[in-house]
Structure 1
Amino acid sequence: MLVLTRKLNQAIQIGDDIEIKILSVDGEQIKIGINAPKNVEIHRKEVYLAIQEENSQAIDTTMDLLTKFSDQLKNK
């Protein structure tokens, strides 16, 4: 993991297209701004993990339905 120290209004550049800027610091809370292309998805980590879990459950449900449908077709 790369650890960088930044001050208010300083930024970090990731590649050519992504900039992360420190917008404010209030005690233990830091606000950051992210400039990135629209095709780059940006989520808080807990939201990203929830999305991944929902996608995994959706795949499992779809596979279960397909298996049941396939079994029904075979039994006809």
Structure 2
Amino acid sequence: MLVLSRKTGDEIVIDRDIRIAVLATSGRMARLGIVAPPAVRVLRQEVHERLLAEESVAVSAADSASDSTIMTGVIRIAR
């Protein structure tokens, strides 16, 4: 992990086309501005974690459905 100290108005550049600017600071909080190409998904950590959890539930449901279909198919073939 790269750890940097920045002041209001300072920027960080990632891979030429992603810019993170410190817009304001107040106590332990920092307000950041992020410029990135449309193909780059930028999310707050809590949103990212929620989406991962939702995807995990969807994958589990899809796996269960396909397992049921496979089992049904096996039972029909076995008859």
- Secondary structure in 2 matching 1:8: coil
For 1:48, the equivalent position in structure 2 comes to: 48
TM-aligned CA deviation for residue 74 of structure 1: 2.3
TM-aligned CA deviation for residue 47 of structure 1: 1.2
For 1:25, the equivalent position in structure 2 comes to: 25
Deviation sequence 1:31-71 (CA, Å, 0-9, x none): 00000001100111111111111111111110100110121
Mapped partners of 2:48, 2:62: distance in 1: 21
TM-score after normalising by structure 2: 0.88
**Total equivalences in the alignment:** 76
Gaps of 5+ in 2: none
Instruction: Point out 4+ residue stretches in structure 1 off by more than 4 angstroms.
Output: none
Q: Which has the larger radius of gyration?
A: 2
TM-aligned CA deviation for residue 18 of structure 1: 0.3
TM-score after normalising by structure 1: 0.91
For 2:69, the equivalent position in structure 1 comes to: 69
Two-structure CA RMSD over aligned residues (Å): 1.0
Opposite residue 52 of structure 2, the aligned amino acid is: Q
Opposite residue 55 of structure 1, the aligned amino acid is: E
Residue identity (%): 32
